[in-house]
Structure 1
């Protein structure tokens, strides 16, 4: 079956993001590493825009910006870009929430508390309120758990590994091996799940 140009764009995103894992062992010049790091989620964002889904495209674009700023400027500035994306995503998912406030609120507080216990940093806890809100609203939205819900959980896991590296796993190689694959897999699942579900709903509405 012949792939459409749009499908090839998603495939290019997977190749770019998946291959960045090799940077864990490579000593590349910083500009090259930064551009490579941002290319995976950046292409996912472009794919979402091309598919006519600007809302999730914007969320992904802030993720790509955060990826690059983490390396170029530092953790705090990169976290701000991610936090904006989390807030936008939570607002997007909340529009289709059907479980009320309790479950998303519980997940939000649990993620924030876990982040604080791992890092001992109140700033990390504040950022993680946005991370938890994104995950909580994604898990209680109309979007499939197998893609969007799982992707949100992988995103949370990736960030918790970062925070653990600031605390109890500071001497462990495990976070360095798992942070990127869990993060990028999460972003790819979210992108595919949201765009595919909205396309399915549009098709259903036309029938």
Structure 2
């Protein structure tokens, strides 16, 4: 789809991408923090609005609430990481509910291994990463929800190389954040890669779920 077609037919998607790119570059400048926080929230917040307006079914509404929680978490992280973390727990809760509503009928042995290892290894790796061992347990508890989200996405009937891959990108983004609390402290990799991995992951999840539900349930409200 051309940029003109995207602007005409999917204005909220275009706004989301523009906000995500703007935040990525503006955070390295002296842009006022309050406005930077709003730009950051607009990236995933626009996806939430897109979900609510694009389809009226309960699954897409659940996705919309998950995305709204993530957008609020993005903004909250700028001033309180604990509040931000709680909001992302809410995202994972809604996302797991959605993915479990669309469980794949059967998994191959390799797929089952991926699901099981994702769920089990994510909190273990997250616990090992922070240098602050007292705080490592809080990170691990959060990572239980993170692993459940990614594992349930991979096991769902949604397109694995859109929704499943998007959930894995989200997972890798969070693991980079945890690594920044330990072995990658001061390293350039988390600074430059956390946001792109996270945003691309959420974008893939949002568009993958909405497109799949639209094909199954054609009832639609088009964004004007």
TM-score by length of 2: 0.84
Match of 2:222 in 1: none
Output one character per residue of 1:155-203: Cα deviation in whole Å (capped at 9) or x when no partner: 0011000000000000211110000000101111111000001011124
Q: Do the aligned partners of 1:59 and 1:89 also contact (CA within 8 Å) in 2?
A: yes
Deviation, structure 1 residue 95: 1.7
Match of 1:79 in 2: 85
Deviation, structure 1 residue 106: 3.6
Output one character per residue of 1:15-57: Cα deviation in whole Å (capped at 9) or x when no partner: 1112211034112222111101101000000000001221100
TM-score by length of 1: 0.91
Match of 1:33 in 2: 36
Q: Do the aligned partners of 1:6 and 1:50 also contact (CA within 8 Å) in 2?
A: no
Tell me the secondary structure at the aligned position of residue 71 of structure 1. coil
2:94 aligns with one of 75, 88, 105: 88
2:22 aligns with one of 8, 19, 23: 19
**Rounded Cα–Cα distance in structure 2 between residues aligned with 1:195 and 1:32:** 29
RMSD between superposed Cα atoms in Å: 1.9
**Rounded Cα–Cα distance in structure 2 between residues aligned with 1:178 and 1:8:** 26
Match of 1:170 in 2: 185
Structure 2 regions of 5+ residues with no counterpart? 219-224
1:46 aligns with one of 44, 49, 53: 49
Bigger relative contact order, structure 1 or 2 (CA pairs below 8 A, ≥6 apart): 2
Deviation, structure 1 residue 68: 0.4
Q: Number of residues paired by the alignment?
A: 202
**Rounded Cα–Cα distance in structure 2 between residues aligned with 1:200 and 1:170:** 45
Structure 1 regions of 5+ residues with no counterpart? none
**Rounded Cα–Cα distance in structure 1 between residues aligned with 2:6 and 2:30:** 35
1:154 aligns with 2:169: yes
Higher helix fraction: Structure 1 or Structure 2? Answer: 1
